[in-house]
């Protein structure tokens, strides 16, 4: 259960998308819980970089984190280099797959793994350590899961569907400590786009082809032409057995079943 | 004897010719031509080529990287190809690399050069190898921008590529023009940036219907260097039991409605097919299914590859819930039910007899398959 590996967890403050209330990020909380399964909370290093949201970070203290270290930075651009220099020497770095507060681009684990020069596994659901070898269960869509074996050091990005059973306790939230440390800006500067922000006042418009249609082609579009037969094949003839065979043949033709 | 009338009369069967477009054309005053009944039908429209020149002689490329699923592309992947085709100039070729391979012709989807790479499907964890393939493609085609759909394996590949090659990137792009990309960030804000090197497209950021087609020529990958060994060991896939995963995540759903009352055979069939079960609102209101199984506007929206609707007529609210399903198979006694318009295959049959017949066939197939293995 417990391991001698050095484990760091990255957490970030989140905001409710509608009310704007301070929250914990689901995937960051899942990452913290996964770390707690590998080592006792007092042996974990819980980090937050670049933001100063004490009330939001209390959420993670309430989940059982003893101490959260906030790396204060002059600007957001230094976030990845500062984290890279702070995380050198750790065996396992856990973070949520995607923040719910800042950019929420899901890029941080990739940039960290690249900066640290170590392996990275995305969409992690479970992880168990034996010595320096980790067995990881990865989330895949359509109900599939994958088992992977990876040697430390490694960055694990935890999927929001990872099991979460820890409860928030106010006493823990009050007892926990938040410390501030000046982050050391590194020299590694990743190429980043320059963003301009504006309030959402309209729906996003999808990219569409401009078509100057002739009347005839517009009418063809309206009736669907001869090629655009609406609906698929309709089988009326034959017995139930024959129809069932047709169904099975359809499934086999489209490689939807494997028997 | 011919009577002269004050009103000029028009011959209803004036001669006509068939114009090059295949349509009937009457030339006023002409005496020659056909007079019979013209029964030509409208042919499917031929779409023009997007590029003016040949694909090989293009002046620059846009690269689309995507994974196929079971040898086919989903709507999101098509939207990414369409977005590249819409962004490209008349002399820029759209190169599409299909990781996992795809059997169909992607020219109709807007691709000019298609690379089939069946060895790099998503069933194996091989990020380092994929990165080598992606970097080889970049070296080979020197694309101005790289587009990927922001989902599953492609989202992972795009982010890894951006981190490794230090290129600018925009993820979950919801709005795209030739000059800039726009995404939504928490706090109800749009974030806009100049068109980055790598664009990860969100769902419905582009419309997949195009007024033109691409060349759809085959391309060959020139691999730069050798494929590296993965540091992460893949211990293989494991499928979850369908009753353990959420309905939204299920890949095969058998769903019952008002015309399906044989619950025993239904459960046995779902079990034999390895499918999750769903229901329409009427069947849930009847108490035959729990509320969590309801699919539709007030229930769940599912994204299965196969959706088998047994005795479901297909109310609009239900069709909303299955709009992202790829193959819909309907079994219904009423062939004019709305579900028949949505379904890829409709069987007009009583659900009970069909389920029993299908269950027999599936059991036989499973047994013979087990014997051969």
d(C-alpha B181, C-alpha B173), whole Å? 6
Phi, psi of B268 (to 5 degrees): -65, -40
Q: Does residue B144 have a pLDDT over 50?
A: yes
Which chain A residues are within 8 Å of B305, Cβ to Cβ? Answer: 142, 256
What is the arithmetic mean of pLDDT over B127-132? 93
> Are A208 and B206 a contacting pair at CB < 8 A?
yes
What is the arithmetic mean of pLDDT over B223-232? 87
The closest alpha carbon to A43, from A2, A83, A84, A12, belongs to: A2
Q: How far is CA A8 from CA A44, A83, A88, A112, B44, in A?
A: 6, 11, 10, 12, 61
By C-alpha distance, the chain A residue nearest B207 is: A208
Determine the pLDDT at residue B41: 63
d(C-alpha B101, C-alpha B117), whole Å? 5
Element (H, E) at A95: strand A92-96
Determine the pLDDT at residue A152: 85
- Does the CA dihedral B82-B87-B89-B92 come out positive or negative? negative
Q: How far is CA B69 from CA A34, A108, B118, B238, B248, in A?
A: 31, 27, 11, 17, 17
Determine the pLDDT at residue A30: 95
d(C-alpha B6, C-alpha B11), whole Å? 15
Cβ burial of A225 (10 Å; 0-12, 13-18, 19+) is middle
B365 and chain A: CB distance < 8 Å anywhere? yes
Residue to test with chain A: of B108, B186, B326, B373, most A Cβ within 10 A: B186
Give the model confidence (pLDDT) of A176-209 as tens digits.
Answer: 999 888 766 655 555 566 889 999 999 999 999 8
By C-alpha distance, the chain A residue nearest B40 is: A226
Determine the pLDDT at residue B59: 87
A193 and chain B: CB distance < 8 Å anywhere? yes
The closest alpha carbon to A146, from A174, A121, A115, belongs to: A121
Determine the pLDDT at residue A121: 95
- Does the CA dihedral B165-B167-B172-B176 come out positive or negative? negative
Determine the pLDDT at residue A222: 63
Q: Quick check: A250 and A244 in contact, CB under 8 A?
A: no
The separation between CA B7 and the C-alpha centre of its own chain, rounded to angstroms, equals 59
pLDDT band at residue A111, thresholds of 50, 70 and 90?
very high
Coil, helix or strand at residue A7: strand
A170 and chain B: CB distance < 8 Å anywhere? no
d(C-alpha A120, C-alpha A84), whole Å? 14
Q: Quick check: A145 and A121 in contact, CB under 8 A?
A: no
By C-alpha distance, the chain A residue nearest B155 is: A106
B250 and chain A: CB distance < 8 Å anywhere? yes
- pLDDT, mean over chain B: 89
Which chain A residues are within 8 Å of B174, Cβ to Cβ? Answer: 204
Determine the pLDDT at residue A220: 64
> Are A208 and B86 a contacting pair at CB < 8 A?
yes
Q: Does residue B1 have a pLDDT over 70?
A: no
By C-alpha distance, the chain A residue nearest B351 is: A240
Determine the pLDDT at residue A2: 58
Tokens 């992607």, residue located: B106
- The token pair at B167 is 């290129």
How many CB pairs below 8 Å do chains A and B form together?
245
By C-alpha distance, the chain B residue nearest A141 is: B249
- Name the residue with higher pLDDT: A138 or A22: A138
What is the arithmetic mean of pLDDT over B282-297? 94
The closest alpha carbon to A22, from A46, A53, A65, belongs to: A53
By C-alpha distance, the chain A residue nearest B328 is: A232
pLDDT band at residue A150, thresholds of 50, 70 and 90?
very high
Q: Hey, which residues 99-128 in chain A have their CB within 8 Å of chain B?
A: 99-107, 110-111, 113-114, 119-123
A231 and chain B: CB distance < 8 Å anywhere? yes
B178 and chain A: CB distance < 8 Å anywhere? no
Instruction: Give me the percent of chain B exceeding a pLDDT of 70.
Output: 96
Q: Does residue B109 have a pLDDT over 80?
A: yes
- The token pair at B353 is 């007899």
B40 and chain A: CB distance < 8 Å anywhere? no
Which chain B residues are within 8 Å of A144, Cβ to Cβ? Answer: 237-240
By C-alpha distance, the chain A residue nearest B342 is: A231
> Are A248 and B175 a contacting pair at CB < 8 A?
no
What is the arithmetic mean of pLDDT over B192-215? 92
Q: Quick check: B66 and B100 in contact, CB under 8 A?
A: no
Determine the pLDDT at residue A226: 44
Distance from the Cα of A140 to chain B's closest Cα (Å) equals: 7
Element (H, E) at B65: strand B61-67
Lowest-confidence region among A220-224, B309-313, B322-326 = A220-224
Give the model confidence (pLDDT) of B236-289 as tens digits.
Answer: 888 878 878 888 888 899 999 999 999 999 999 999 998 999 999 999 999 999
Determine the pLDDT at residue A207: 92
The separation between CA B255 and the C-alpha centre of its own chain, rounded to angstroms, equals 22
Residue partners of B50: CB distance under 8 A and separation at least 6: B85, B88, B90, B110, B112, B210, B212, B213, B214
- Name the residue with higher pLDDT: B246 or B333: B333
Q: Does residue B43 have a pLDDT over 70?
A: no
CA-derived radius of gyration, chain A: 25
Residue partners of B170: CB distance under 8 A and separation at least 6: A193, B181, B183, B193, B196, B198, B199, B200
Total count of residues recorded for chain B: 373
Q: Does residue A242 have a pLDDT over 90?
A: yes
Q: Does residue A97 have a pLDDT over 50?
A: yes
Determine the pLDDT at residue B371: 59
Determine the pLDDT at residue B369: 80
Determine the pLDDT at residue A216: 72
Determine the pLDDT at residue B262: 92
B243 and chain A: CB distance < 8 Å anywhere? no
Determine the pLDDT at residue A74: 75
d(C-alpha B34, C-alpha B29), whole Å? 14
The closest alpha carbon to A45, from A80, A112, A95, belongs to: A95
Selecting from A110, A195, A234 the residue whose C-beta is nearest the C-beta of B160 gives A110
Which chain A residues are within 8 Å of B183, Cβ to Cβ? Answer: 105
Determine the pLDDT at residue A158: 96
Cβ burial of B240 (10 Å; 0-12, 13-18, 19+) is middle
Q: Hey, which residues does B347 pair with through a beta bridge?
A: A235, B331
B175 and chain A: CB distance < 8 Å anywhere? yes
Cis before B227? omega within 30: no
What is the arithmetic mean of pLDDT over B196-209? 93
Q: Quick check: B98 and B122 in contact, CB under 8 A?
A: no
Which chain A residues are within 8 Å of B357, Cβ to Cβ? Answer: 239-241, 243-244
Distance from the Cα of A166 to chain B's closest Cα (Å) equals: 21
Which chain A residues are within 8 Å of B361, Cβ to Cβ? Answer: 241, 244-245, 248
Q: Hey, which residues does A13 pair with through a beta bridge?
A: A24
pLDDT band at residue B296, thresholds of 50, 70 and 90?
very high
Q: Does residue A228 have a pLDDT over 60?
A: no
Determine the pLDDT at residue A17: 76
Exposure string of A88-97, with b = 16+ CB inside 10 Å and e = fewer, is: eebbbbbbbb
Coil, helix or strand at residue A217: helix
- Name the residue with higher pLDDT: A187 or B363: B363
Determine the pLDDT at residue A16: 81
The ipTM assigned to this model is 0.88
B124 and chain A: CB distance < 8 Å anywhere? no
Q: Quick check: A142 and B305 in contact, CB under 8 A?
A: yes
B187 and chain A: CB distance < 8 Å anywhere? yes
Phi, psi of B34 (to 5 degrees): -85, 150
The closest alpha carbon to A61, from A165, A166, A146, A144, belongs to: A166
Q: Hey, which residues 14-53 in chain A have their CB within 8 Å of chain B?
A: 14-15, 17, 20
Distance from the Cα of A203 to chain B's closest Cα (Å) equals: 10
B203 and chain A: CB distance < 8 Å anywhere? no
Determine the pLDDT at residue A192: 66
pLDDT band at residue B347, thresholds of 50, 70 and 90?
very high
- Name the residue with higher pLDDT: B98 or A255: B98
- Name the residue with higher pLDDT: A114 or A79: A114
> Are B335 and A17 a contacting pair at CB < 8 A?
no
């Amino acid at each position: 259960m417990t391991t001698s590996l050095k484990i760091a967890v990255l957490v970030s403050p989140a905001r409710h998308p509608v009310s704007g209330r301070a929250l914990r990020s689901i995937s960051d909380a899942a990452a913290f819980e996964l770390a707690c399964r590998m080592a006792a909370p007092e042996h974990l290093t819980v980090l937050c970089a670049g933001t100063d949201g004490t009330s939001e970070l209390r959420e993670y203290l309430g989940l059982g984190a003893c101490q959260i270290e906030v790396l204060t930075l002059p600007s957001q651009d230094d976030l990845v280099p500062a984290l890279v220099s702070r995380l050198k020497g750790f065996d396992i770095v856990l973070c949520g797959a995607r923040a719910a507060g800042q950019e929420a681009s899901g890029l941080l684990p990739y940039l960290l793994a690249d900066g640290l020069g170590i392996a990275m596994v995305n969409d992690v659901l479970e992880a168990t350590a034996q010595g320096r070898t980790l067995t990881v269960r990865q989330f895949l869509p359509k109900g599939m899961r994958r088992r992977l074996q990876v040697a430390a050091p490694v960055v694990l990005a935890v999927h929001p569907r990872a099991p979460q059973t820890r409860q928030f306790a106010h006493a823990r939230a009050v007892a926990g400590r938040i410390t501030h440390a000046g982050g050391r800006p590194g020299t590694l500067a990743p190429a980043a786009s320059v963003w301009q922000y504006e309030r959402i006042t309209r729906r996003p418009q999808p990219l569409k082809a401009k078509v100057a249609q002739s009347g005839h082609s517009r009418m063809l579009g309206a009736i669907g032409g001869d090629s655009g037969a609406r609906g698929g094949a309709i089988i009326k003839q034959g017995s139930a057995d024959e129809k069932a065979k047709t169904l099975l043949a359809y499934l086999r033709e489209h490689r939807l079943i494997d028997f | 004897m011919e009577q002269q009338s004050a009103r000029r009369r028009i011959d209803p069967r004036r001669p006509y010719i068939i114009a090059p477009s295949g349509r009937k054309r009457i030339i006023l005053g002409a005496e020659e031509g056909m007079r019979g009944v013209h029964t030509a039908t409208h042919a499917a429209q031929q779409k023009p080529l997007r590029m003016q020149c040949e694909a090989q002689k293009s002046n620059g490329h846009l690269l689309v990287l995507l994974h196929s699923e079971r040898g086919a592309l989903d709507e999101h992947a098509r939207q990414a190809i369409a977005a590249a085709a819409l962004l490209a100039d008349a002399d820029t070729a759209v190169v599409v690399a299909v990781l996992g391979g795809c059997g169909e012709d992607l020219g109709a989807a807007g691709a000019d050069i298609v690379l089939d790479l069946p060895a790099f499907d998503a069933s194996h964890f091989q990020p380092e190898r994929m990165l080598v393939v992606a970097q080889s493609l970049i070296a080979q085609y020197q694309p101005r921008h790289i587009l990927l759909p922001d989902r599953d394996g492609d989202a992972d590949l795009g982010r890894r590529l951006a981190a490794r090659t230090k290129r600018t990137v925009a993820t979950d792009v919801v709005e795209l023009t030739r000059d800039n990309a726009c995404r939504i960030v928490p706090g109800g804000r749009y974030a806009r940036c100049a068109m980055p090197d790598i664009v990860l497209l969100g769902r419905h950021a582009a419309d997949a219907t195009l007024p033109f087609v691409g060349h759809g020529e085959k391309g060959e990958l020139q691999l730069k260097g050798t494929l590296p060994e993965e540091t992460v060991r893949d211990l293989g896939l494991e499928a979850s039991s369908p009753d353990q995963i959420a309905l939204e995540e299920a890949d095969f759903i058998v769903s019952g409605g008002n015309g399906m009352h044989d619950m025993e055979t239904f459960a046995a069939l779902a079990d034999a097919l390895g499918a999750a079960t769903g229901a329409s609102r009427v069947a849930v209101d009847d108490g035959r299914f729990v509320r969590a199984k309801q699919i539709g506007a007030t229930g769940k929206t599912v994204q299965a590859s196969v959706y088998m609707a047994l005795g479901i007529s297909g109310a609009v609210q239900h069709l909303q819930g299955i709009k992202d399903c790829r193959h819909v198979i309907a079994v219904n006694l009423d062939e004019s039910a709305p579900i028949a318009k949505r379904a890829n295959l409709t069987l007009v049959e009583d659900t009970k007899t069909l389920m029993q017949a299908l269950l027999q066939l599936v059991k036989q197939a499973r047994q013979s398959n087990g014997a051969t293995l």
